[in-house]
Structure 1
């Protein structure tokens, strides 16, 4: 039996930082996905694995977990609609989808904790494979606190260009110090976010994301962040979100916002070096799969 697995990417993170020295992020899963199909017979030979290196390593990790020799492993095919190197959890989604497809092919449905362990054994990871929104320790995996289901949001995503390698970014010598310096702002953002989730108030959620975005400017500055935020205000955005270790900036809107074309045109006219990337919506589904 073949399995079709789908894992969502993210629009950066609602919040990322640390409290009392413990690093965490708050996930922002969106309706853009990586897909994996297990037991692929065609168009690939049985033992061919068409995977990015990190996803191929995830497949091996699962086979090791299940004590299945790699030579006997079922092939897996992956594809993704998530841009790479932008901070949209493309690698995490690839790894999660591949790992789950591999496990299912061998009769084992990986738990979310097992998925987290596999992801973190490869690189610091997002946790969009969890359903809903979670506060997640993206370095050690010691925390995965569910924060509930996010009210629907529309996000217009812009890209300043270039790419950021997750492993290189998190190996910076000054990173821990810079993260510690913004702890008070992160505490404020997390308080607002939890209040917004409890009340289903997207304005509070947007405020929390904006605080975290601005606080990250000393770590990975985004040249256009403040200008884009001001344009968002003109169009009644509820806040601004970023990839804290990536290149994207998103403007958060109510799900029924209809002025996206005018907003995009204003951004293009004001900051022409910024590229419009996509318009997405938040999702709460986590990783999903079906038999084929």
Structure 2
């Protein structure tokens, strides 16, 4: 049931559409010796999509009504662009909330792109980051491809190019994590840990620049292990054993979420066998499991269907 059909105050000029992918936690997350909190994104083919219907009612609303972060951002962006702060946002998302899939960030980016689409304008990414920063800490999925991102400062450090074709055999340990509350807690890292994170970041950049999947997996796994002091995964040891038994690339985790997964190359000659065996073994741990695909197509600026 669409707003333009049920509410006569909506304009007859159609609507704007926008879309954003999520991210399966992070390939790497930590703190550098200069005290910068950083992460490396892992874009996946799960999306948030938005339709923006402008209106003359003088009110701005969002459906589902609980997506208040997206509503706040839309108001800020419309005001910045000198447009009426009025209309309706209809959001459909494949990304579960509180799981470490960047659901709220993807919602906000989809909203921004829907507004851009309707008014045929381009909002500078720095402006979007400024307004999102006023709402919550976030990752870097407003930038295309895999990026190194200062998620508390909302600042791009480095773009690492497109994501290689990968499959994630994912296990959800359950519950939800409040990202805002999680990032408000001060976490202590030793200087040696910060130096290791610096080395891991260098390794991850090298792995992606040279398509070295073995190094990528080793680095992501080490990041998952080091994160146990912050947001421990009960199944990490078991998932690592399964990964090793099937010959997976490595383990990846949602550092501030509930997911943990095994990474498999889509070009692996034993791909089908590894997927079947890995999924069966993960299911035996007693948690919900599913598959994710890495997102290798990052041209979503004017994505249309919702």
Q: What is the 5 A alignment of 1:162-201?
A: 162-172=175-185, 174-175=186-187, 177-178=188-189, 182-201=193-212
Q: Distance in 2 between matches of 1:251 and 1:131?
A: 23
* Paired residue secondary structure (1:93): helix
Q: In structure 2, do the counterparts of structure 1 residues 290 and 40 end up closer, same or farther at CA, with 3 Å as the change threshold?
A: farther
For structure 1, which segment, 147-156 or 84-93, has the greater mean C-alpha deviation from structure 2 after superposition?
147-156
Q: Is the 8 A contact 1:2 1:291 kept in 2?
A: no
* Distance in structure 2 (CA, Å) of the matches to 1:91 and 1:179: 31
The whole-number CA distance in structure 2 between the counterparts of 1:281 and 1:132 is: 10
How many angstroms does 1:142 deviate by? 3.3
Q: For 2:99, what is the secondary structure of its paired residue?
A: coil
Say which SS state the counterpart of residue 62 (structure 2) adopts: coil
Q: CA RMSD in A?
A: 2.2
Q: Which residue, out of 39, 48, 53, partners 1:34?
A: 48
CA contact (8 A) 1:18 1:180 kept: no
Q: Give the unaligned 5+ runs of structure 1.
A: none
* Correspondence 1:212 to 2:223: yes
Question: Are the counterparts in 1 of residues 16 and 116 from structure 2 also a CA contact under 8 Å?
Answer: no
Counterpart residue number, 2:102:
89
2:242 is aligned to: 231
Whole-Å Cα distance in 2 between the matches of residues 104 and 132 of structure 1? 21
Is the Cα contact below 8 Å between 2:164 and 2:294 reproduced in 1? no
Structure number with bigger Rg: 2
Q: Which moved more, 1:160-169 or 1:93-102?
A: 93-102
CA 1:36–1:116 in structure 2 vs 1: closer, same or farther (change >3 Å)? same
What TM-score do you get using the length of structure 2 for normalisation? 0.85
State the secondary structure of the residue aligned to 2:50: strand
- The answer (yes or no) to whether the contact 2:129–2:154 under 8 Å persists in 1 is yes
TM norm structure 1: 0.89
In the TM superposition, 1:1-292 aligns within 5 A as 1-19=14-32, 20-39=34-53, 48-51=61-64, 52-70=67-85, 73-172=86-185, 174-175=186-187, 177-178=188-189, 182-256=193-267, 257-258=271-272, 259-269=274-284, 271-272=285-286, 274-285=287-298, 287-290=300-303
Residues 74 and 105 in structure 1, CA contact (< 8 A), matched pair in contact too: no
C-alpha contact 1:186 1:211 (8 A) present in aligned 2: no
Count matched residues: 283
Question: How far apart, in 1, do the equivalents of 2:304 and 2:291 lie?
Answer: 30
Change (3 A) 1:290 1:82: closer
Q: Distance in 2 between matches of 1:286 and 1:223?
A: 36
- Cα deviation per residue 1:4-37 (whole Å; 9 max; x = unaligned)? 2110001000111121201111111100000011
The 1-side partners of 2:70 and 2:257 are apart by 20
